């Protein structure tokens, strides 16, 4: 039986159509900062460019929010910038134009 996993990420979701139309996932695959997750029932694979902060899932009785990192630290911000800097154009300029933010990207086990 599968269960939902909430991946807390600082960055840019790559599942939005306006991003997918511009970037080459093949060029990002394998790069630092490219995050790809499994989702058996989704039409679009959950992907993002950024830094994974934490995760939680529905297979537990409760989630203690005090133990989750939900805001990026200075080191996370630096890591995001390093990952962005190592990209080549056009992906670098496209993702640099997007304002990174904290979001949950859902996946399944």
**Can you say how many angstroms the Cα of residue 61 is from the centroid of all Cα atoms in its chain?**
25
Give the percent of the chain with pLDDT over 90: 58
pLDDT in tens, 34-78: 999 988 876 778 999 999 999 998 888 888 888 888 899 999 999
Distance from chain centroid for Cα 101: 10
| The pLDDT value given to residue 52 | 96
Q: What is the DSSP letter of 100?
A: P
30's torsion region: left (phi>0), alpha (psi -120 to 50) or beta?
left
Nearest Cα to 48, choosing from 72, 73, 84, 82? 84
CB 91 within 8 A of CB 45: no
For the chain, the maximum distance between any two Cα atoms, rounded to a whole number of angstroms, is 45
pTM, two decimals, is 0.89
Q: What number of residues does the chain have?
A: 109
Place of tokens 């029932």: 41
Alpha-carbon distance 63 to 69, whole Å? 12
Domain ranges of the chain: 4-108
């Amino acid at each position: 039986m599968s269960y939902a996993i909430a991946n807390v990420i600082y960055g840019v979701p790559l599942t939005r159509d306006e991003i997918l139309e511009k970037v080459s996932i093949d060029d990002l695959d394998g790069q630092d900062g490219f995050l790809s997750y499994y989702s058996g029932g989704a039409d679009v694979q959950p992907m993002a460019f950024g830094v994974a902060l934490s995760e939680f899932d529905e297979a537990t009785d409760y989630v203690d929010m005090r133990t989750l990192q939900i805001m990026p630290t200075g080191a996370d911000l630096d890591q995001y910038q390093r990952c962005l800097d190592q990209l080549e154009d056009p992906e670098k300029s496209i993702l640099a134009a997007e304002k990174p933010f904290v979001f949950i990207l859902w996946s399944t086990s």
